[in-house]
Amino acid sequence: MSNQIKIMLLEDDDFETKAFEQAISKRINFLLVSKSKSSSEALNFVKEFSPEILILDLELHNGNGSGFDFLNKLPELRLKYKPLIIVTTNISSNIIYDYLHKDLVDLIFYKKQNDYSADLVLDTLSLLSNKPNQSQKKSMISNEEKHNILSEIINKELDLIGISYKLKGREYIFEAIYYLLTTTDDDITVFQYLSNRYKLLTSSISRSIQTAINHTWRTSAIEDLKLNYTAQINYHTGVPTPTEFIYYYVKKIKV
């Protein structure tokens, strides 16, 4: 199909490669144009095929080079467009993630998280399923698209444990998570941000969030909570605090 989005895969695990091949083959909007276990070969494939999406593993134990090598040398190709770069990795390090997010990659998926799969990666990419035109290629994903993707991910996570939209605390929770995932301002706390945004005392906002959490833990199925909220919960209260809850999802989504 002429309107298919071209994907290149840099992956040394045969099982993972097969999973992506099968997942991509089922989707009419994506086309796998090249795959490699070598960072240097992958760079040549980028020049040859001009893929719009690059999916790469950081560690190539069964290949040559690494995802880091690929990312460091990619600017040398002087591409006339900016491909969307997706990292899939077994590495769990906020330091590395922060480094990668600084103008190097667009999305990071941690392979050991419970719901990780090739389909999860492609489901997220399907939010960008309209093939970009030439003017869009300079920036494969707009700020509005980034906002929509992140909003959908946050709301999906909150829906999984059944936090009601009728509760004001849900809105505060969403805004807190979104703020922490997107801000570069370390001088203001999340509750100060919410207080400034809603013109309310931080104590009032915190109470509303705690009410939403308590309501969820009373009304949602325990199986859904255990499956989708895996952080340790205070033994005495049986529910997370607002701060624990918010930062759990920031860490989970940021991965």
Residues 82-126 pLDDT 10s: 888 999 988 887 788 877 877 678 888 888 888 889 988 888 887
Using alpha carbons, select from 175, 238, 242 the residue that is nearest to residue 212.
242
Residues 29-40 pLDDT 10s: 899 999 999 999
Rounded to an integer, what distance in angstroms lies between the CA atom of residue 212 and that of residue 171?
Answer: 10
Q: What is the mean pLDDT of residues 51-71?
A: 88
Could you give the dihedral angle defined by the CA atoms of residues 18, 19, 24 and 27, in that order, rounded to the nearest 10 degrees?
A: 130
Using alpha carbons, select from 132, 105, 136 the residue that is nearest to residue 121.
105
- Judged by phi (left if over 0) then psi (alpha if -120 to 50, else beta), residue 53 lies in beta
Is 2 a residue whose pLDDT tops 60? no
Using alpha carbons, select from 59, 71, 72, 45 the residue that is nearest to residue 11.
59
The DSSP H or E segment spanning 40 is helix 39-49
Q: What is the mean pLDDT of residues 39-49?
A: 92
In whole angstroms, what separates CA 60 from the centre of its chain?
A: 22
Across the beta sheet with 107-110, the strand order is 30-36, 5-10, 53-57, 84-89, 107-110
Rounded to two decimals, what is the model's pTM? 0.53
Rounded to an integer, what distance in angstroms lies between the CA atom of residue 106 and that of residue 87?
Answer: 8
Both tokens of residue 238? Answer: 């049986």
pLDDT of residue 242: 94
pLDDT of residue 142: 60
Is 1 a residue whose pLDDT tops 50? no
Residues 186-245 pLDDT 10s: 778 999 999 999 999 999 999 999 999 999 999 999 888 988 898 877 667 789 999 999
Beta bridge partners, 38, equal 64
pLDDT of residue 103: 65
Please, which pLDDT band fits residue 134 given cuts at 50, 70 and 90? very low
Q: DSSP state, 240? A: -
Beta bridge partners, 88, equal 57, 109
Please, which pLDDT band fits residue 138 given cuts at 50, 70 and 90? very low
Is 179 a residue whose pLDDT tops 50? yes
- Percentage of residues in the chain with pLDDT exceeding 90? 47
